[in-house]
């Protein structure tokens, strides 16, 4: 995904922290929310 390295790194850091955390992913239609989540968990 172009231009989302910072966001992707932040989500990976949160998932690997070992703590319980809540992350809200929001934005306009068709901006890549599902894509970045699929990339994180696949």
Q: What is the three-state SS of 1-42?
A: CCCCHHHHHHHHHHHCCCCCCCCCCCCCCCCCHHHHHHHHHC
Residue 42 has pLDDT above 70, yes or no: yes
Total domains present in the chain: 1
Instruction: Name the burial class of residue 21, with classes exposed (0-12), middle (13-18) and buried (19+) by CB atoms within 10 angstroms of its CB.
Output: exposed
Q: Residue 18 has what pLDDT?
A: 92
Length of the chain: 42
Q: Residue 19 has what pLDDT?
A: 93
Domain range for 28 is 5-41
Closest listed residue to residue 1, CA positions, set 21, 16, 9:
9
Per residue in 10-36, pLDDT tens?
888 998 999 999 988 888 998 888 888
* 39 or 17, higher pLDDT: 17
**Residue 11: φ, ψ to 5°:** -65, -40
Q: Residue 1 has what pLDDT?
A: 61
What pTM does this model have? 0.65
Q: Residue 17 has what pLDDT?
A: 92
């Amino acid at each position: 995904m172009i231009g989302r390295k910072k966001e992707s790194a932040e989500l990976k850091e949160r998932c690997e922290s070992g703590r319980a955390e809540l992350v809200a992913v929001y934005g306009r239609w068709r901006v890549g929310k599902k894509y970045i989540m699929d990339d994180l968990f696949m």
